[in-house]
Amino acid sequence: MPHIEDYDEFKDDAKNVLQQLMRSISKSSNTKQLLVGTGSGLTTGFITMKIGRTAAFAIGGGILLLQIAQTQGYVKIDWDRIKKKAAKTSRAVENNVNQRPTWVDEVKKFLVKNTCFAGGFLGGFFIGIAL
């Protein structure tokens, strides 16, 4: 069974590898940035569509089965309880988001600094989705 310390060590190692990769890409030529961005975007887009289709089918099927079960009387859904829980969760997320800068801010800075990589990634991503 993994320990919390192992997870923290893995998280730190992964963060260091990503930072080194981002520094390496930043120092590369525009052509290399464009090629790396296109390749990673293509891969990300392709995987997103494969996982997205599967997830959409599973979630849609689950919702359909739940609705049929509710209609037939097998399941009773307490919508008021769900609304209260969703509102509570929404407030908690809003409070956590506004507290500190996130990895999204670091990614934005990286993409603004490396526009060739960003452009290649975006183009590759759309091509990957189209496949």
Q: Per residue of the chain (131 residues), give pLDDT as tens.
A: 555 556 667 777 777 887 788 788 878 788 888 888 888 888 888 888 888 888 888 999 998 888 888 888 888 878 888 888 988 888 877 777 666 666 777 778 877 887 888 888 888 888 888 88
Helix ranges, the chain (H): 4-27, 30-72, 79-97, 103-113, 115-130
Look up the domain containing 131 and give its range. Answer: 42-131
d(CA 41, CA 126): 8
AA identity, residue 25: I
97 occurs within a structural domain: yes
Domain assignment present for 5: no
Number of domains in the chain: 1
Closest CA to 19 of 110, 102, 108: 110
68 falls within a domain: yes
- pTM, whole model, 2 decimals? 0.54
